[in-house]
Amino acid sequence: MYKKITVFFLLFLFWQVGDVEASSSFAVIDVQTGRLLEGSNEYEELPIASLTKVWTALTVLDNASLEDEITISQAAATQEGSSLYLKPGEVWTVNSLLHGLMLQSGNDAAYALAEHVGGSIDGFTQLMNEKFQIAGLNNSHFTNPSGLHHDDHFASAFDMANMFRLALQNEQFKEIASAKSYQPKERNVRWSNKHRLLHDKEIAIAGKTGYTKRAGRTLVTYFKKDEKEIVVVTLNHSNDWAYHTSLAERVFANYDSMKVVKKGKYRLFQKEVIEVENDQYLLVNKEERKKLSNVLLIPRKATVQNPYVWNVTIDHQIALRFNVKKIK
């Protein structure tokens, strides 16, 4: 009898471990283009915990000023999970709450910011989900601004990496997400960024941590080395600090930064003239470099999707998106 119970228990543990591994994923993308460089289960929809707050912060920055003042509500002050210990009736600036959101992962800050921008949590999450559609992220849906577990709250590692990439294009977000510490004017306290790699690794520039029992450990990190820039995301990975570092080092070793479009004016369809305001780079490995070595910088089949985004397809596998200025 004892042996049968032991065997059954071991089989149960094996099933549990297998289930955790199957529900893990990672993605590494090129910051310049959003192109996937490495990944595993990168499109699987999984809970992401407090990585949600990246999209919360960007949604707030798109709709509010850093100097806006927010009076903390009873509902915000009593949010469960990680907290800044805000008190009802306190007045905080958006700037301070965003730092508390990103560095200390305050769920109370997330709720207060959402109320301010969206009028309600439902109103704010609607803004978040509409933003997904505009950004072309197809494997994500949020039900709250903090990342507390809900069965209909999820993202893929690839989508999460691109959320962070898009957020980095906002200079205010980039400054907040890369801050190692911050002292709010509203309270005599100094918050230290929970993202350990920002304190330990020179190539780790910005990021966000996350954890719930259902999501496990989640992590996003922006790495930069010379002209190479990548975002790494892991979902439900227990050894995420070391894994992010090893992934960054491997990608930086195996990929080179290749200039694929030079700054200047270009004419398309014999009518439309566009101006590429900066040289554009692509991270490529050795095999991709060979394929791209003789490619024209402006292929004849290049198309303008709208006045602000120029979509160029090279080798039918590598899609580049560049911000351009339309010349009348």
Handedness of CA 140, 237, 227, 205 (dihedral sign): positive
Residue that finishes a domain, picked among 236, 254, 272: 254
Q: How far apart are the C-alpha atoms of 94 and 270, rounded to whole Å?
A: 48
SS3 of 247-286: the string is HHHHHHHHCEEEEEECCEEEEECCCEEEEECCCEEEEECH
Structure tokens at 106: 């305050």
- More confident site: 232 or 260: 232
Residue 196 lies inside a defined structural domain of this protein: yes
228 and 95, same structural domain?
Answer: yes
Catalytic residue, from 24, 96, 105, 156: name it.
105
pLDDT band at residue 84, thresholds of 50, 70 and 90?
very high
**Does a structural domain hold residue 164?**
yes
Question: Any catalytic annotation for residue 96?
Answer: no
What is the rounded CA–CA span in Å between residue 52 and residue 230?
19
Confidence of residue 271 (pLDDT cuts 50, 70, 90): low
Residue 294 sits in the same domain as residue 275: yes
What pLDDT digit, counting tens, does each position of 101-136 carry?
A: 999 999 999 999 999 999 999 999 999 999 999 998
Residues 128 and 145: beta-carbon distance below 8 Å:
yes
User: Coil, strand or helix: which one is 225?
Assistant: strand
Q: What is the pLDDT of residues 272-306, one digit of tens each?
A: 676 777 777 889 898 887 766 544 344 333 443 33
Catalytically annotated residue among 24, 25, 53, 228: 53
Return the C-alpha torsion angle 50, 55, 60, 65, nearest 10.
Answer: 100
Catalytic status, residue 105: yes
Residue type at 135 in one-letter notation: A
Q: Is residue 231 a contact partner of residue 164, using CB atoms and an 8 Å limit?
A: yes
When divided into structural domains, the chain yields a total of 2
Can 53 be counted among the known catalytic residues?
Answer: yes
Q: Which of 24, 25, 50, 146 is catalytic?
A: 50
Instruction: Write the pLDDT tens digit of every residue in 142-186.
Output: 999 999 999 999 999 999 999 999 999 999 999 999 999 999 999
Is 290 one of the annotated binding-site residues? no
Same domain, 238 and 269: no
**Does residue 39 share a domain with residue 76?**
yes
- 16-39: per-residue pLDDT in tens? 333 334 489 999 999 988 999 999
Whether residue 71 is found in the same domain as residue 99:
yes
- Burial group, residue 188, by CB count within 10 angstroms (0-12, 13-18, 19+): exposed
Q: What is the mean pLDDT of residues 65-89?
A: 97
- Between CA 267 and CA 265 the distance in angstroms is 7
Distance CA 78, CA 324 (A): 46
Q: How wide is the angle at C-alpha 228 spanned by C-alphas 101 and 181, nearest 5°?
A: 25
Q: Write down the mean pLDDT value for the chain.
A: 84
**Any domain includes 12:** no
CATH number at residue 202: 3.40.710.10
Q: Which residues contact 276 (CB under 8 A, 6 or more apart)?
A: 261, 262, 263, 264, 265, 266, 310, 322, 324
